[in-house]
Structure formats: C-alpha cells, structure tokens
Chains A and B, each alone.
Chain A
Amino acid sequence: MSQVKEKEIQELSDVTVRFAGDSGDGMQLTGMQFSDTTAWIGNDLNTLPDYPAEIRAPAGTLYGVSGFQLHFSSVDIHTPGDTPDVLVAMNPAALKKNLSELKKNGSLIVNKDAFDQKNLKLADYQTNPLEDGSLDGYEVHQVPISSLTANALEGLPISPKEVARCKNFFALGLMYWLYNRPLKNTEDWIQLKFKKNPEFIKANTLALQAGHKFGEMTEVFTTRYRVEPAKLPKGTYRNISGNEALSLGLLTASVKSGLPLFLGSYPITPASEILQYLSNYKNFGVKTVQAEDEIAGITSAIGASFTGHLAITTTSGPGLALKTESIGLAVMTELPIIVIDVQRGGPSTGLPTKTEQSDLLQAVYGRNGEAPVAVLAARTPTDCFYMAIEAARIALKYMTPVIFLTDGYLANGSEPWRIPHAKDLPKIDVKFRTEKEGFFPYLRDENLSRPWAIPGTPGLEHRIGGLEKAHITGNVSYDPDNHDKMVRIRAQKIKNIENDIPDLQVEGDTEGDLLVVGWGGTYGTLIEAVTQARAAGYKVSLAHFRYINPFPKNTSKVLGKFKKILIPEINLGQLSKIIRSEFLIPVEQFNLVRGLPFKVADIFEKITDILGGSNGK
C-alpha cells in the first residue's frame, strides 16, 4: 500500500446522515447496515427509512427515490435528526429530492458517474448541478462510485448489471471510513446473506473494502470523523426496529401467559413484517395464518381467542377500517384480542410507506353501536416491545379487544435496545373457567370481566355471538332494560382499566406555563424540543400518552396544573378533540400532516411562539 497523508480526525457528538438513491439501489439495506454497525460499536442512534410505495420505480426518476436517514451520537438522542449533516446521493434524482433538507454547509457525497444527460433529464435538471454552481455553499465530494466499483470488481464472473448493483456497498465502505466504523459487521452479514452465491460474497465484500480504501487514498476527503460510544446504562444491547420489538413483545406475552400465540393477518404496509417475523417462531408454538383478507385475519383470531389462544391481528389504517365490524363482535362476545394498527398516511390507500397519527379517532370511536375498547400507543421503537406485552395483559385480564397503535416511523425506525432478561418480565395470569357449578357465560368478576370457558371444558358448553346477551345468563335478549344495562357494563369494564395502568408522567416540572401533550410515535421529537426549550429557560413540560382509552386516572389533574396546553399531532387534531371533549379545557394544536415525523425545530418554534419571547422565561 502506498504511503498516504495522515488525515485529520475530528470529534463529533452527533451526526445525521441520509442515504438516497433509486429504490433499486439498495439504500434501505445500506442504511440498515450502517445503523447496525453504528449500534454495535456503541453509539446511540435513531433511524428514519423513507421510501416510496413503488418497489422499483423506473430508474433515475424522482418518484423512485428511496432514502434512509440515521442520527447517531455519543449523547442521548431521541430522533432521527431534523436535517442531515451528510447526504449521500447516488443519482441526480436523489440529489434533487433531498438537497433542500441538507444542512447549510452540509456535506454532499455524490456518485459523479450517475450525472449523465439521461439521468439529469429524468431528474428535471436543465444543467448539471455539479457544474453550474448551484451546489456552492455545500461541501461537495464528487466520487465516481459506479466506475470505481466496476474497477474493483474487474475480472469477477458476474454481469455488468450485477457489478452495478454492488455500488451501494462501495458507498457504505466509504462512509464507514469517513466515520471510523469497522467493516466486520457488514462483512459477516454479506457472508450470511449470500451464502448460496460465493461470487456475490466476493463482489460485495470487495466493493465494501474498495470504498473504505478509497477514503483512505483519495485527496477528496481531508478529514474523517469520530463519534465516541454513548454512555448507555450497563447491559446487553441490540439494535431493533419497532416492528421487530413488537413481535418479540407478543412472543414474550405468549410465553408469560402460557397461551399459544395465534396471528391472523393480511399483508399490508407497514405492518407485514410482524407477520413475517412471527411466522419464524414455530418452535414457540406460534400459529400464523396469512388470511384471505383483513376480515379473515381478525375473525380467525376471534375463533382462536374463543378457543383459548393469545389471539392477535395486525394491520394498518385501511385494514383497521375493514376489521371494524369484527372488533364489534369481539366487544359483544367479550373475547380478548389484540388489534395492532401500524398507522400510515391516509385516507384510503393514502401514503402507504409514510407515517401518520390519523387513526386515533377510528381506534377510539370508529365502530357501530356503543363499542368501547382499550386503546394503547407505543412511543418509541423499543417501547413497542413493552406496550405489546401491556396490550396482551389488558386484553386477557379484561376479556376485551385492545387496539394497539404504532406507526410507520416506529415500525421501520430502529434504536439500541437494552435487552431485558426473560425472568425479570412479569408473568401474565390467565384463568380459564373449569368449575361447572354456578357457571354462566356472562357472569362478572371484580373487574366486570366474564369467564373464559374454552371448548373442550366438560359441562361448560355455551353459545356466544353478536346478538345482545342477557346479563349473567348470556341468552339472546332483546329486553330494553337489559340492553341499557349491558351497554353500561361494557363501558364500565373498559373504564375500570384506569385502575390498572400507570399514572401519566410529566417530564419537567409538574406545573408551569405550558404543557406539551403528545401520544404515540412523536415522543422522541417532543421530548427533545421540550428539553431544548427548558434549557433555554422556558417553563414547559411534556406529558406523553401511551394509554389513551381509558386515560390514566390522574390525567385531569396533570392537565390542570398548566396555564396552556399544546397538543402536536401528525393529524388535524384528533387527540385534541378527545381531550377537549373529555376534560372541557381549551388546548392549542400543532398539526403537520406530511407523512413524516415532526422536526424538533418545528416544535421548539411553536413552544417559543406560544410562550413568546421572554414571556414565560
């Protein structure tokens, strides 16, 4: 190896990187590999995959651009970063779509080879941005990624097309060099992934190494960066996405309750991965059914619940709409099921691959009749694990459907997870009714739950169904007073859950000028913005809901301690509506429905707007 000039190493506390390219360029894979390696060497991190619904849109087009943003650090972070410090653009379309997001003076790494006439035209560039001065103000690194990859792979028995597909590994290798990351993690991954194709192992590994070496040798880069490991609590960690954490949570609930897991589901973005993950765990007794439609997904789960399984269905907004009537059946039959809605942009098919919080009202109210259910929401990717267990606990204890909301951002985003020990996770008590004496299907216990008597239990043969049931006996009843009574019992049963969930926590002082109130996947952004505003002297705190129906018992008290309430949501104010109607208090809203997570700066600005200049400091 020839002697190269020692490069300067600069220390950073946090960096936001975005990889962008064609949907066929492997940007999601590149981003995930960078994330895994970054987590593995001990940085805190948070990711935001951002890809189109089309699988492989025509190459070079603007609508085919796929992006993956990650934020990593030596300090505690909660968001994927507002604006990237570095943008890796694999073609002109990727540059055009992402440049406006890049930080002023940010660093830009472009695949120079891709900036030909054809691609420039596809991206609607009249002139080549690499030559016309429009990138002045950015630190531009033009790297001929395609040709350097081709050079590195020369002589390998693979087609030019296959060579071209290795260029993301070149880019990844270069980024590993730039940010001082080891190649090993990705090299191991390549070995595993392509174990059936030794030539691809060779090609991708060579491309990765070539990218790394290029960083070292070239004059293009004069500085490389170091981000020290974050000071995380002691323990064993893994990097995990929301969907995977959720799947593990459901499995844990199955083990801890002693009930076999049944998942009836129909593939839908961004929830399909849960069905994919869980179908692997057959040695845990998991039964997965890829049903013929959304309704079959939930109704098969209702059948399995009747038969004593931990029954689950997973979906996104359009699927939740289809399952509505069946949720009503589970309300009426008082059977435990978990309905998981990984929210995406709506209405209708909407923005399948983007995130949104607009299914809240559907979850809380969207059924015919008085059909109350418990509604929970996870706040971070790793929280999906714990709230999945909570969803199971509540469903089983209260014999009720539980709607568990996550969203596209939580589902695909990942963060380091301090893995709990199986033995430290609490057991979930389940009792099936077996005594014949005094049995009625709609008897009530102290929580108003009815007994769970499953087929196969001698002497407890009984019928349940969607028709109104007489109190206690469970016979079909059209009696007016009975109906009124049953409607109230079902409502009270859900209300009783409030005695069994943690209080609403306030982060910051428990009284002050402004309480920011959030729910679900916006937690990271909100806590970061509130922390910044507090550091700037504002009297602002955060209360973030994970339990939405019922609300924690202390909610009214918490809200009452603040002069103003601000509810930011990625919808047009759905939690705001519920809070206003439940507590008869005025709230301010902040709503931005772009299919993307909020930016910390937006929330910070709104907080300072409301508290105004020095007012409130």
Chain B
Amino acid sequence: MANNVEVKTAKYTAKDFTSDQDVRWCPGCGDYSILAQVQRTFPEIIETPKENVVWVSGIGCSSRFPYYMDTYGIHGIHGRAPIIATGVKIANPELSVWVATGDGDLLSIGGNHFIHSCRKNIDIKVLLFNNRIYGLTKGQYSPTSEKGKVTKTTPYGSVDYPFNPLSLALGAEETFVSRTLDRNPKHLQEILKRAGKHKGMAFIEIYQNCNIFNDGAFFKLSEKETKDDSVLILEHGKPMVFGKDSSKGIKLDGAKPTIVDITNGKYSKDDLWVHDEFADSPAHAMILAHLDDNPDFPTPIGVFRQVIKETYDAGIARQIEQVTGKKGTGDLEKMLLGGNTWEVN
C-alpha cells in the first residue's frame, strides 16, 4: 500500500516549518497540540521542497493556523478554504496543499465546498478541528454540537441535530476518511502521515478541546480512566478489540454491531469484525462512523476508509495533455482566424 512506504530521511526539522509569528490561541487550547504534531511530522510527510507547501484556511480559531506555518499560506474567508485550496492545487499540481478548518467553517458556512471537494477527489488534505462549538465568536453552538446543547444562542438547549462529519464525508464519496484527537499526539501523528501519503483528498476529523467554551468535550476519549473503554482504535486487517486489557471486541451481525466479551471463552478474536479500510463499499465504514450513536459503544479512531482513484487535478492535467497531443499546442493566430472568415479587399 502506498501508505506504508518507508519515508526517506527528512532534510527538514520541525523548526523549518515554524514561522516567526506569535501563536495567539488561548493557553491550553487543543490547537497547540495539532500545530505541534504537524510541525513535528512535516519533515517526514513532505517529500517536496518546503516552498511547494501551501496551507489554506477559512475563518475561526483553527483558521489562524497558516500564519504559524513557515510555508506559503492563505487565510481566506469563511467557509471557502477547500475551494481556494482547489484553485491552488489545479494551478500547480506539484504543490502539497493543506487546509486547516473548523466545524463551523467547514460544515456550516462551507458545507457546500466540503461535499463537492470530497466528490471531486481534489488532492488536498483537510484537517477539521472539531471542538463542537464556535470559539472565535465566543461560544455559540456549532453544526456538530450535540442536540440540547446550552450555549449563548441556545439558552434552552439547541433543537437541531448535529452533523456526523465522517458520515457526511463518506456520503460525499470522500476517498480518505479518518478521525483522531488532539490529546493523542502519537495517533494524530500517525494519521497525519497516512493522510499526507494519500493521493487524493484526505479528510481528518480531529477532536479538539476548546478549554474556554466547550472544555472536556472529548475527555472521555483521552483521560486515563475512561479512554480504554471509550476508544476503538481501527487498524486495517485487525479485529476490533478495545477496553481495559483488550477484553472487549466488536462483532458484526449483518449490519448490526454488538459488543462482546472475549475473555470468558464464549467469543475469541476470531469472532470479531476485522477492519477493512479498502472495502469497495462504504457501508461498513458508515456503520463505524455511526458506531457511537449508541453511547454504550466506543468511538472509533483511525482510518475508516481509503479509496484510490483519479484525482480532480490529475484529470484536468490529463485532459490538457490529451487534447494538446491531439490538436497540438494552441496557436493564437489560428485561433483568432477560426470560424467562418471572409476577406475584404
């Protein structure tokens, strides 16, 4: 698999990707961890000179990200990062193009661009900093906030249902669907590397703690006491085991997942659902995306699905090459003289 290729010795260090700008997030924000893991892994991920790296963002706390990376960058307008990035990538497919975005930016005002970027399989990497709250506008609920959430704009609790970002991505034919969390740096690094190697659009949902407006939203998944029972780490080709001492597993009966105990002799690892990232159908990935709709189930993290197919930018380049091959390089004089012409003497 393209994803498991050993990376050649990096010539950059984290420092090479650190800009001279002061980082202005709130102390304790999960964004710091994401920035640190990106800077740490980039020397490994980026197989091109760093002048070929472009970070694009929209609006929100997460969207300040490009200012802190010493690469080319555009801090765009609200919701438009994926499509600005699309323009960059099409203009120069040699570039490594990354998007930093939040749950409001990507799924509310930018929802349309998100699903269409997935559908087109444009070769950009999208990092969704999902903190389930609006931070920069100071604490309104977001399209990923749980129903009933009390915020400044929902004093009696929100009445709308949230998006499940992975389900949305899968429905939009996204070719690399993954989830990780800010407080699991190692896992975050692994997923970043996998995404970086994916030829096509890569989508990473990163559960990110907003310690000011939604503190602890994902602590269940990161704190020592609870994480083992609450997190299911997906690994391709491996049975789905979780829980303290790996005592539990997920068994799939038809389309219905169940939790089984694999310590009491009734079930063993052989009975468990084996994760297949490359399944033709998105159905199983979809079940996984909705696994923790039932609060008794753990939250899966890892790569849910990966599909290899022609990217949008490659398709555009291919057509240009094919048509040029067939018609020859465009000749301006001939083009102007095209159509039905006549002479006046």
The minimal Cβ–Cβ distance linking B283 to chain A, given in whole angstroms, is: 26
Instruction: Check: B205 CB closer than 8 A to any chain A CB.
Output: no
Pair A299/B75 contact, Cβ less than 8 Å: no
Q: Which residues of A contact B341 (CB under 8 A)?
A: 236-238, 419
The minimal Cβ–Cβ distance linking A285 to chain B, given in whole angstroms, is: 6
Assuming the contacts A236-B343, A282-B324, A303-B83, asked whether A455 and B66 have C-beta atoms less than 8 A apart, the reply is no
Pair A255/B332 contact, Cβ less than 8 Å: yes
Instruction: Check: B35 CB closer than 8 A to any chain A CB.
Output: no
- Give chain B interface residues in 25-84, CB to chain A under 8 Å: 49-57, 59, 66-67, 69-77, 80, 83-84
Residue of A nearest to B72 (CB): A455
The minimal Cβ–Cβ distance linking B319 to chain A, given in whole angstroms, is: 6
The minimal Cβ–Cβ distance linking A53 to chain B, given in whole angstroms, is: 24
Which of B90-98, B131-139, B261-269, B294-302 contacts the other chain?
B90-98
Q: Choose from A233, A234, A309 the contact partner of B91 (Cβ within 8 Å).
A: A309
How far does the alpha carbon of A456 sit from the alpha carbon of B316 in the complex, in Å?
20
Query: Contact flags (1/0) for A562-575 with B, using CB distance below 8 Å?
Result: 00000000000000
Instruction: Check: A281 CB closer than 8 A to any chain B CB.
Output: yes
- Give chain A interface residues in 230-276, CB to chain B under 8 Å: 232-240, 248, 251-252, 255, 260, 262, 264
Pair A306/B74 contact, Cβ less than 8 Å: yes
Instruction: Check: B336 CB closer than 8 A to any chain A CB.
Output: yes
Q: Which residues of B contact A467 (CB under 8 A)?
A: 75
Q: How many A-B residue pairs have CB under 8 A?
A: 212
Assuming the contacts A325-B77, A422-B333, A463-B75, asked whether A306 and B52 have C-beta atoms less than 8 A apart, the reply is no
* Chain A CB within 10 A, most for which of B51, B330, B333, B336: B336
Residue of A nearest to B115 (CB): A292
Pair A455/B51 contact, Cβ less than 8 Å: yes
Assuming the contacts A252-B332, A307-B91, asked whether A283 and B72 have C-beta atoms less than 8 A apart, the reply is no
The minimal Cβ–Cβ distance linking B61 to chain A, given in whole angstroms, is: 13
Pair A300/B330 contact, Cβ less than 8 Å: no
Instruction: Check: B340 CB closer than 8 A to any chain A CB.
Output: yes
Assuming the contacts A262-B90, A455-B52, asked whether A237 and B342 have C-beta atoms less than 8 A apart, the reply is yes
How far does the alpha carbon of A306 sit from the alpha carbon of B91 in the complex, in Å?
9
Assuming the contacts A295-B80, A296-B116, A461-B70, asked whether A284 and B90 have C-beta atoms less than 8 A apart, the reply is no
How far does the alpha carbon of A457 sit from the alpha carbon of B49 in the complex, in Å?
10
Q: Choose from A229, A262, A460 the contact partner of B87 (Cβ within 8 Å).
A: A262
- Give chain A interface residues in 457-499, CB to chain B under 8 Å: 457-467, 475-476
Q: Which residues of A contact B322 (CB under 8 A)?
A: 282
Q: Which residues of B contact A456 (CB under 8 A)?
A: 51-52, 92, 94-95
Instruction: Check: A357 CB closer than 8 A to any chain B CB.
Output: no
* Chain B CB within 10 A, most for which of A309, A421, A463: A463
Interface residues on A, range: 35 or more
Pair B87/A283 contact, Cβ less than 8 Å: no
Pair A466/B343 contact, Cβ less than 8 Å: no
Instruction: Check: B1 CB closer than 8 A to any chain A CB.
Output: no
How far does the alpha carbon of A248 sit from the alpha carbon of B331 in the complex, in Å?
12
Q: Which residues of A contact B326 (CB under 8 A)?
A: 283
How far does the alpha carbon of A590 sit from the alpha carbon of B165 in the complex, in Å?
56
Pair A465/B344 contact, Cβ less than 8 Å: no
Instruction: Check: B221 CB closer than 8 A to any chain A CB.
Output: no
Which of A36-44, A213-221, A396-404 contacts the other chain?
A36-44
Pair B330/A303 contact, Cβ less than 8 Å: no
Pair B87/A302 contact, Cβ less than 8 Å: yes
Pair A299/B76 contact, Cβ less than 8 Å: yes
The minimal Cβ–Cβ distance linking A183 to chain B, given in whole angstroms, is: 14
Assuming the contacts A234-B345, A419-B341, asked whether A287 and B90 have C-beta atoms less than 8 A apart, the reply is yes
Instruction: Check: A613 CB closer than 8 A to any chain B CB.
Output: no
How far does the alpha carbon of A292 sit from the alpha carbon of B118 in the complex, in Å?
12
Residue of B nearest to A252 (CB): B332
Q: Choose from A281, A454, A466 the contact partner of B76 (Cβ within 8 Å).
A: A466
Pair B83/A36 contact, Cβ less than 8 Å: no
How far does the alpha carbon of A238 sit from the alpha carbon of B340 in the complex, in Å?
6
Assuming the contacts A283-B323, A461-B70, asked whether A466 and B342 have C-beta atoms less than 8 A apart, the reply is no
Q: Which residues of A contact B272 (CB under 8 A)?
A: none
Pair B330/A461 contact, Cβ less than 8 Å: no
The minimal Cβ–Cβ distance linking B325 to chain A, given in whole angstroms, is: 9
How far does the alpha carbon of A308 sit from the alpha carbon of B345 in the complex, in Å?
42
How far does the alpha carbon of A396 sit from the alpha carbon of B319 in the complex, in Å?
27
Assuming the contacts A285-B330, A287-B316, A419-B341, asked whether A260 and B91 have C-beta atoms less than 8 A apart, the reply is yes
How far does the alpha carbon of A238 sit from the alpha carbon of B113 in the complex, in Å?
41
Pair A463/B74 contact, Cβ less than 8 Å: yes
How far does the alpha carbon of A467 sit from the alpha carbon of B64 in the complex, in Å?
10
Pair B324/A303 contact, Cβ less than 8 Å: no
How far does the alpha carbon of A418 sit from the alpha carbon of B67 in the complex, in Å?
51
Q: Which residues of A contact B73 (CB under 8 A)?
A: 462-465
Pair B339/A240 contact, Cβ less than 8 Å: yes
Pair B83/A282 contact, Cβ less than 8 Å: no
Pair B51/A457 contact, Cβ less than 8 Å: yes
Instruction: Check: B19 CB closer than 8 A to any chain A CB.
Output: yes
Instruction: Check: A558 CB closer than 8 A to any chain B CB.
Output: no
Pair A422/B67 contact, Cβ less than 8 Å: no
How far does the alpha carbon of A240 sit from the alpha carbon of B94 in the complex, in Å?
38
Q: Which residues of A contact B338 (CB under 8 A)?
A: 238
Q: Choose from B74, B80, B85, B324 the contact partner of A326 (Cβ within 8 Å).
A: B80
Query: Contact flags (1/0) for B164-199 with A, using CB distance below 8 Å?
Result: 000000000000000000000000000000000000
Assuming the contacts A287-B316, A465-B66, asked whether A329 and B77 have C-beta atoms less than 8 A apart, the reply is yes
Instruction: Check: B281 CB closer than 8 A to any chain A CB.
Output: no
Instruction: Check: B335 CB closer than 8 A to any chain A CB.
Output: yes
Instruction: Check: A227 CB closer than 8 A to any chain B CB.
Output: no
- Give chain A interface residues in 299-316, CB to chain B under 8 Å: 299-309, 311
Pair A308/B75 contact, Cβ less than 8 Å: no
* Chain A CB within 10 A, most for which of B92, B116, B343: B92
10 shortest interchain CB distances as A-B pairs: A303-B87, A465-B75, A284-B330, A307-B91, A300-B87, A463-B73, A282-B323, A292-B116, A422-B332, A422-B333
Not counting A289-B316, A455-B52, a sample of 10 additional A-B residue pairs whose C-beta atoms are within 8 angstroms of each other reads A39-B342, A238-B337, A238-B342, A252-B336, A255-B330, A284-B330, A303-B91, A304-B87, A307-B54, A309-B91
A-B contact pairs, 8 of them (CB 8 A): A233-B344, A236-B342, A237-B343, A283-B330, A325-B77, A422-B336, A454-B92, A466-B59
Seen from chain B, the residues whose Cβ lies within 8 Å of a Cβ on chain A are 19, 21, 49-57, 59, 66-67, 69-77, 80, 83-92, 94-95, 112-113, 116, 316, 319-320, 322-324, 326-330, 332-333, 335-345
Seen from chain A, the residues whose Cβ lies within 8 Å of a Cβ on chain B are 36, 39-42, 185, 229, 232-240, 248, 251-252, 255, 260, 262, 264, 281-287, 289, 291-293, 295-296, 299-309, 311, 325-326, 328-329, 333, 418-423, 454-467, 475-476
